[in-house]
Structure 1
Amino acid sequence: MVDTVEVDGGVLEQWGPEELHEAFRKGEAAIIDVRTPQEFAFEHIRGALLDPLASFEPSALPSQEGKRLVFHCGSGVRSRRVAEACLAAGFGRVAHLEGGFAAWKQAGLPYVAIDPASGGQRMVGGEA
C-alpha cells in the first residue's frame, strides 16, 4: 500500500518496496537513486537511474507522464529530502521509497552488487 502525505501544497507518496518492485516490473515507475556514485557502484537496483543528492536539480527531471518517478536512497532520509525539494519547486505529486534501499534488501528483492571474489557484478535477491 502506498501512503500519502501533504507537503508544501503537494502530495508525497511513500511507497513500500514490494509496491515499487511491482510497478517497476510493469513499467509503471522509474526509480531515481539519489545516493552517491560510490554507493551506486557498490550495489544498486538494476535499471535505476542515478541522480545524486549533491547535484540534484528538480528542473532537470524527466516528465512523469506514463511513469511515476520514485526516489530512493539508503534509508529513505535523502530521498524524502529530494521529494520535498521537488514539491517546493512546484511538482504536484512525487514519490519516494520509504525505508530506502535497506527496506528493498530486507524484503529480499533483486539488486546488483559487487562480487567480492571476482570484482564483477552479480544479482542478489529474488527474481528481477
Structure 2
Amino acid sequence: MKTETVGTAEFQTWTVEEVAEAWAKNQVVLIDVRTPQEYMFEHIEGALLLPLPFFNAHKLPGQKDKQIIFHCGSGVRSEKVARAAIDAGLEKIAHMEGGFAAWKQAQKPYIGTNMATGAPSRVND
C-alpha cells in the first residue's frame, strides 16, 4: 500500500491483492464509482455503486468499523473521488490502483454478463 499525507489526512492507494485480501475478510467497504451501465455489465460482487456524477463526499458514512476503498475502471475516477473525500474532511481514505481492469487482469472473481443469454454470471469464481 502506498500512502500520501494530504494536510492532516492519509490518502492510500491499495493494490488489487491488498483489496482482495481485505475484501475476503470483510474488513473493507468497496465503492464502485463507475457508471450504472459499466456496473451492470460487470462488477465485483458486493461492491456498492456510487457513480462519480452523483458523488457527494459529505454524505459518506464514517469508517469506524470498515475502511472505504473506491474503485473505477482504471483508477483515475476513484483517485479523484478519494481526493474529494479528503477535501470534504475525511481523515483516511483509499482507492484501488489500476481499478477494475487490474482486478480482472489479476483474475479475481467478479460478476459478468453472459453474452449468449444476457444473464449475470460469476467469472473466476
Calculate the TM-score normalised by the size of structure 2.
Answer: 0.96
State the partner residue of 2:2: 3
Give runs of aligned pairs for residues 105-120 of structure 1, distance below 5 A.
105-120=104-119
Give runs of aligned pairs for residues 1-128 of structure 1, distance below 5 A.
2-125=1-124, 127=125
Identity among equivalent positions (%) equals 50
| Structure 1 CA distance for aligned equivalents of residues 84 and 103 of structure 2 | 23
| Structure 2 CA distance for aligned equivalents of residues 103 and 8 of structure 1 | 29
Backbone CA RMSD of aligned residues: 0.9
| Structure 1 CA distance for aligned equivalents of residues 50 and 7 of structure 2 | 23
| Structure 2 CA distance for aligned equivalents of residues 111 and 66 of structure 1 | 24
Cα contact 1:36–1:53 (8 A) shared by 2: yes
Calculate the TM-score normalised by the size of structure 1.
Answer: 0.94
| Structure 2 CA distance for aligned equivalents of residues 8 and 112 of structure 1 | 38
Alpha-carbon deviation of 1:7?
2.5
Count of paired positions: 125
Alpha-carbon deviation of 1:10?
1.4
Q: Which runs of 5+ in 1 are unaligned?
A: none
Q: Which runs of 5+ in 2 are unaligned?
A: none
Alpha-carbon deviation of 1:27?
0.8
Residue type of the alignment partner of 1:61: L
